[in-house]
A = this chain, B = another copy of it.
Amino acid sequence: MPTDETTKPATWANIDSMRSLHPLPGVTMWPAAGDNLMINFVRIEPGAVVPLHQHPHEQAGTVIEGIIIMTIEDETRELRVGDVYVAPPNSIHGASAGPDGCLVVDVFSPPREDYLIPTE
């Protein structure tokens, strides 16, 4: 019988060997989940769009490469390395990539159940 919850193993992963999802044309995701949060690499190709949507999961994110054009509710901003956002639960948000595309990291709490499903 487990007596110490700390014995749960850590996750270590690299984008080159992680399971990927392609939820939209030009959008690739590589999610890794714990119990309470999910950290998700997202690559958006130039011209690709993540349409406005909403979900009850709180979301935050930052940029690793390139520019993401992010809309949350009634505000749209261009985000680069060093920028960060937090999108409240159920806020309406969407994104597109700058001219060279982008690699960003999104975080969700709780984890997005729909991204836990193996797709390839």
Which of B10, B36, B89, B107 has a CB less than 8 Å from the CB of A110? Answer: B36
Known contacts A37-B37, A58-B36, A110-B36; is A10 also within 8 Å of B87 by CB? yes
How far is the CB of A51 from the nearest CB of chain B, in Å? 17
Which of B11, B60, B93 has a CB less than 8 Å from the CB of A34? Answer: B60
Copies in the complex: 2
User: Please, what's the 1-or-0 string for A90-108, where 1 marks a CB less than 8 Å from any CB in chain B?
Assistant: 1111000000000001011
Whether A72 lies near B110 (C-beta < 8 A) is no
A20 within 8 A of B: no
In chain B, what residue has the closest Cβ to A18? B84
User: Please, what's the 1-or-0 string for A55-95, where 1 marks a CB less than 8 Å from any CB in chain B?
Assistant: 00010111010000000110101000111111111111100
Could you list 15 further interchain pairs (A-B, Cβ under 8 angstroms) beyond the known A13-B83, A14-B83?
A: A6-B88, A6-B89, A6-B92, A9-B73, A12-B77, A12-B84, A16-B82, A34-B86, A34-B88, A34-B109, A35-B88, A36-B110, A37-B109, A39-B107, A41-B84
